């Protein structure tokens, strides 16, 4: 298959545009909820770990968002004071403390992002499962490049 560098460059620009737009959506949620950029990254890391069924410790959060132990402690303290996160004992190992989103924070996120999520899923209806598989592979590869770049 012939390589179309112009098309590839256009896809990179579209990815950047999507990233900028998603960042703006996150910002519109963050401000009224007293969250900064790092706070949002932390909340997403906790949510993603919860969805995977992998409770996240403060140390795991630090690794996920690239913060030192002291910075993570301050971050978690701030999120906890604001009512977004709770520290709870891990049911599998009571010696371990894991991070859990508060019900209020989960409800606020669902109310704000739920409509967007439904619209994104509806927009996928125009694509076959095979198309979506290729998109998943592509987005995974692009994410790996960005993570490695940082």
**pLDDT tens digits, residue range 102-147?**
999 999 999 999 999 999 999 999 999 999 999 999 999 999 999 8
Q: Please tell me the least confidently modeled range out of 50-54, 97-101, 117-121.
A: 50-54
| Same domain? 46 vs 77 | yes
Is the whole-model pTM more than 0.85?
no
In whole angstroms, what is the distance from residue 28 CA to residue 10 CA?
27
CATH number (domain holding residue 92): 1.10.10.10
On whether both 1 and 22 belong to a single domain, the answer is: yes
Distances (CA, A) of 71 to 26, 39, 61, 68, 84: 22, 11, 11, 5, 17
Q: 41 with 90, same domain?
A: yes
Asked if residue 94 has pLDDT above 90, the reply is no
What helix, strand, coil percent values describe the chain, rounded to 5? Answer: 75, 10, 15
Structurally, the chain folds into a number of domains equal to 3
* Domain enclosing residue 92, as ranges: 35-101
């Amino acid at each position: 298959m012939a390589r179309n560098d112009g098309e590839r460059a256009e896809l990179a620009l579209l990815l950047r545009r999507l990233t900028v737009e998603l960042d703006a959506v996150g910002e519109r949620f963050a401000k009224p909820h007293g969250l900064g950029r790092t706070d949002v990254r932390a909340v997403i890391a906790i949510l993603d770990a919860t969805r995977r069924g992998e409770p996240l410790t403060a140390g795991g959060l630090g690794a996920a968002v690239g913060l030192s132990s002291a910075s993570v402690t301050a971050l978690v303290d701030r999120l906890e004071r604001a009512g977004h996160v709770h520290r709870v004992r891990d049911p599998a190992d009571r010696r371990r403390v894991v991070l859990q989103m508060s019900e209020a924070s989960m409800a606020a996120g669902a109310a704000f992002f739920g409509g967007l999520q439904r619209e994104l899923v509806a927009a996928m209806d125009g694509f076959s499962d095979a198309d979506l598989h290729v998109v998943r592979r592509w987005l995974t590869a692009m994410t790996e490049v960005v993570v490695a770049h940082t």
